[in-house]
Structure 1
Amino acid sequence: MELFFRYVRENWVDLLVFTGQHIMMVLIGLLLALVVGIPLGIMASRNRVSARIILTVANIIQVFPSLALLVLLMVAFGLGTTTVVVGLFLYSLLPVIRNTYVGLTQVDKSIMEAGKGVGMSPLQIMINVQLPLALPFMLTGIRIAAVIAIGVATIAPLVGGDGLGREIYSGINMNNSARLYAGAIPAAILALLADLALERLQNATRVAGR
């Protein structure tokens, strides 16, 4: 551990840069998954046929091993961060779509009927009733997607990406445990912090919903 702490003291600037790169890749991939996944989840909740098609395609994407998916994407997008971000986007889709779908379909029908009774349009019911009540479920999906994305991002260097994975693979190739831990420990901390922050937000929305 002494070697690890010495390495961190000597290279903390580079580690901060790698951590920032790691966070940016995850945030962009997750944001894209939200922009695409939430509308797909809404679409799935409105029609059973659409639900089967959308969830099946998302499940197929999730089944692909992360490295195999990134290699396939590399053929289309080349080496670099773009391939990693697209991979994180695709890997984050299923939790976002599925939990949006589940959350919307779990809303009590009587509440929706009450909305209709006071003259709300279907769009108003969706925005003002269904989505707020489904938010805790949706946050669960975002929480799962964030943790998955942080983990998958560690293999980014294998397809020319940046982030903390650079230290992990440098440590493995050079048989340098200090570099390995310098990449792995911050990545693990990022995953724990993301999970904790989203869990608290999820609990807050549940309390507000009650």
Structure 2
Amino acid sequence: MMTFFIENSSDILLKTWEHFYISMIALALGVVFAVPIGILLSKSKYISKVALTITSVLQTVPSLALLAIMIPLFGVGKVPAVIALCIYSLLPILNNTFIGMRSVNGNTKGAGIAMGMTTVQSIVLVELPLAIPVIMSGIRLSAVYVISWATLASYIGAGGLGDFIFNGLNLYQAEFIIGGAIIVTLLALLADFLLSKLEKWVTPKGLRIEGGHAA
């Protein structure tokens, strides 16, 4: 196994970078779409049920099938892979944003409105900060999913660590499969760790949990 890492060190760095930025672009797009939509859906019960059902259905489409669907629409390469991964990232972020916003105490929201805040100000200054821990947990979950699923992006020529795994399968070389899987796992753990630090940074101080107690 060490031979694999030594002999392919330059390729490992390149493929890891490809894998990482494909995943992070897809995750960032997922956040840009899902968080605002989740906030809007939290204001409407009926529309939220329809929207969450649609995203749940998209989530059930097999990864390879979704990537295959992207080929006639966007061709092969990184663009269709990013779009497919973005679609897969939506549900956890959307669902957690909806839950986080809905869980904010009505009295807290009412206090903000009573102080003269507009609806937008209440969302930005009161509801969103209180919902941040739940939203961030959805983003962290999506990050792990996306990095795992990005392995299949190699199937449509997007590169990444999936190249090692697919080459290992084609050439019957177990070290390529195991090595690729190990790096993907480490990358997912690293992303989750970094996002946990970001979560702590963006969470209002009074809501942070440190040593089992709110800070």
Shorter chain as denominator, the TM-score bin is: over 0.9
* 1:96 CA drift (Å): 0.8
Question: Is the 2:129–2:204 Cα contact (8 Å) retained in structure 1?
Answer: no
Residue identity opposite 1:150 in structure 2: I
- Give the AA of the match of 2:84: G
Tell me, in whole angstroms, the C-alpha distance in 1 between the residues paired with 2:125 and 2:49. Answer: 26
Matched, 1:101 2:98: yes
Counterpart among 17, 22, 25 of residue 19 in structure 2:
22
With the length of structure 2 as denominator, give the TM-score of the two structures. Answer: 0.92
Give the structure 2 partner of residue 144 of structure 1. 141
| Matching of residues 1-210 of structure 1 within 5 Å | 4-202=1-199, 205=203, 208-209=206-207
Aligned-pair identity (%): 37
| Distance (Å, rounded) in 2 between the aligned partners of 1:85 and 1:196 | 22
Alpha carbon RMSD of aligned pairs, Å?
A: 1.4
Larger mean Cα displacement after TM superposition, 91-100 or 187-196: 187-196
1:135 Cα deviation from its structure 2 partner: 0.3
Mark the runs of 5 or more structure 2 residues left unpaired by the alignment.
208-213
Q: Which amino acid aligns with 1:148?
A: Y
Q: Mean Cα displacement is larger for which, 105-114 or 7-16?
A: 7-16
- Unaligned runs of 5+ residues in structure 1 are none
Where 1:79 maps in the other structure, the secondary structure is: coil
1:60 aligned partner, one-letter code = V
TM-score, normalised via structure 1 length: 0.94
CA contact (8 A) 2:27 2:86 kept: yes
The Cα shift of 1:206 comes to 6.8
**1:198 positional shift:** 2.7
**How many residues were matched structurally?**
207
Separation (CA, whole Å) in 2 of partners of 1:206 and 1:196: 19
Q: Is the helix fraction higher in 1 or 2? A: 1
C-alpha contact 1:15 1:182 (8 A) present in aligned 2: no
Find the residue that maps to 2:39 and give its secondary structure.
helix
Aligned AA (1:155): L
Looking at structure 2, the residues matched to 156 and 117 of structure 1 have their Cα atoms a distance apart, in angstroms, of 51
More moved, 181-190 vs 88-97: 181-190
Q: Which amino acid aligns with 1:154?
A: T
